[in-house]
Amino acid sequence: MNMSTYAAQRQAAEQRYADRRPLSKELFERASAVMPGGSTRSVLDMSPFPFRVASAAGSELVDVDGINYLDFLGDYSAGLLGHDPAPVRAAVTAALEHGWSFGGVHTDEIRVAEAVVDRFPSIEQVRFTNSGTEANLMALQLARHHTRRQRIVVCDGAYHGGLLYFGHGGEALLAPFDFTRVRYNDIDTLTAIDDSVAAVLIEPMMGAGGCIPAQQEYLTALRRRCDETGSLLIFDEVMTSRMSSGGLQQRTGVLPDLTTLGKYLAGGMTFGAFGGRADVMAAFDPARGGALTHGGTFNNNVVSMAGAAAAMSEMLSEAKLSQLFARGESLRSRLNELFRASTLPLSVTGVGSMMAIHTVDGPINGPHDLETSDHELRQLLFHELLHRGCYIAARGFIALSLDITDEQCDTLVGAMSEAIDSISPSN
Ligand SMILES: Cc1ncc(COP(=O)(O)O)c(C=O)c1O
């Protein structure tokens, strides 16, 4: 099957999509008049236009044209708790009863900090931000301040936020640090870490870069190299912290100096955090000689803090997270089975409840192995799944929420099987 055949099928699938969604189309045109591209979060852009969500409950979405979707995207992992987690709703509602925008400290922020320190093995102290991007930027500046060094090592193809994207097209908006890029999972390139490097910023499973797990020996070598050179190791666990109550660092046993968090931890409310070694975090403590100030009007906002306290104390138990992890492992292996039996170039990578479908044959050890991905096939597959009521990211990303059931995973596997058949090479 050649590329142009996929293109024709994709075009037909997009026309079918557009025909069923007149209201979404109209609203896209209205949005485009006042927001460039019709959106304010680029990852939600979709060809020919995004369906516009009218409401969400549990693991389901309904769009303005009345079409239902099973939500396997889980808001790119921020929706881990589903769309209306009762404990979060109750905590936020109760908090609002007491007012907000205090311009003062309150008690929930202590509860959230205690929960984070309690859960993550390498975090001794923590501070909050409003996003994962901001958490990473603060962690990088903190590392530069602590080490009195400038250079930052990152992985090619990684995404660490809107101003920290190291893939194609990320350059123009990249924060102006002195970055050196290395290949993910390539131990040989770790020689780039020397005593001029302030920090290495890395995900223990590359998330947006394609759900590519770090090999254990790579993480161990990375930790050793940072120790040898005095560079700080920063784990971006904005996505991967869901892998256990102590994040992916708890599962791998490789501990960073600093960790950044975000996404689901406030139960779907805006959130970010950075934390780690107390001696490093002391830079923000005047009582310990710290000279850094960390501003942020909404850092301790009442809604996020109430949501985070409830999410961690009532919903994110080790038992629940490991059940979710197992469900994801099972789904990924079932998808892999389907892909192995298909003649299409498909594979799936991931860890636990997060995975990505790729339009290349494996093995995949880093974004460098995805360069031959078939974009037309990926778009076509996305539309075929959407047509069958299953919402995943257009780029193939899946993040299960706690509300997704085994039966719904069966539905996705069935939809995938049908989708593959509908794109059969004989078409
Ligand atoms: C690994 C990782 N780090 C950081 C971020 C940025 O977080 P936010 O979108 O909250 O700024 C993301 C967002 O997708 C992410 O996946």
Other Cβ atoms less than 10 A from the Cβ of 290: the count is: 14
For the chain, the average pLDDT equals: 97
Which tens digit of pLDDT belongs to each residue from 174-233? 999 999 999 999 999 999 999 999 999 999 999 999 999 999 999 999 999 999 999 999
Residue 161 Cα: closest atom of ligand 1: 6
- Angle value at C-alpha 162, between 276 and 145, nearest 5 degrees: 40
Q: How far is the CA of 427 from the centre of ligand 1 (A)?
A: 39
Q: How far is the CA of 160 from the centre of ligand 1 (A)?
A: 5
Q: Give the type of residue at 393.
A: A
Strand 347-351 to strand 178-182: parallel, antiparallel, or no bridges (unpaired)?
unpaired
The answer to whether residue 3 scores a pLDDT higher than 60 is: no
Other Cβ atoms less than 10 A from the Cβ of 11: the count is: 16
Q: How far is the CA of 154 from the centre of ligand 1 (A)?
A: 15
The answer to whether residue 427 scores a pLDDT higher than 50 is: no
Task: Report the DSSP beta bridge partners of residue 275.
Answer: 126, 259
Residue among 75, 129, 133 to mutate when testing ligand 1 (max atoms within 8 A of CB): 133
Instruction: Specify the residue with its C-alpha closest to ligand 1, atom 14.
Output: 161
Q: pTM higher than 0.95, yes or no?
A: yes
The Cβ-side half-sphere exposure at 176, using a 13 Å CA radius, reads 0
Q: How far is the CA of 199 from the centre of ligand 1 (A)?
A: 18
Domains of the chain: which residue ranges?
3-80+318-422, 86-315
Which tens digit of pLDDT belongs to each residue from 279-332? 999 999 999 999 999 999 999 999 999 999 999 999 999 999 999 999 999 999
The alpha carbon torsion through 259, 263, 268, 270 (nearest 10 deg) reads 80
Name the pLDDT band for 2 (thresholds 50, 70, 90): low
The answer to whether residue 251 scores a pLDDT higher than 80 is: yes
Name the pLDDT band for 397 (thresholds 50, 70, 90): very high
The CA distance from 349 to 49, in Å, is 28
CATH (one of 3.40.640.10, 3.40.1160.10, 3.90.1150.10, 1.10.1740.10) for 3-80+318-422: 3.90.1150.10
The CA distance from 358 to 370, in Å, is 8
Q: How far is the CA of 74 from the centre of ligand 1 (A)?
A: 14
426 Cβ partners below 8 Å, 6+ apart? none
Strand 197-202 to strand 151-155: parallel, antiparallel, or no bridges (unpaired)?
parallel
Looking at the chain, the whole-number percentage of residues with pLDDT higher than 70 is 98
Q: How far is the CA of 166 from the centre of ligand 1 (A)?
A: 13
Pocket of ligand 1 (CB under 6 A): 76, 131-133, 136, 159-161, 203, 207-208, 236, 238-239, 262, 272
**Domain at 86-315: CATH architecture:** 3-Layer(aba) Sandwich (3.40)
The CA distance from 243 to 87, in Å, is 21
The CA distance from 16 to 3, in Å, is 20
The CA distance from 177 to 175, in Å, is 6
Pick from 68, 86, 87, 34: nearest CA to 312: 87
Residue 270 Cα: closest atom of ligand 1: 10
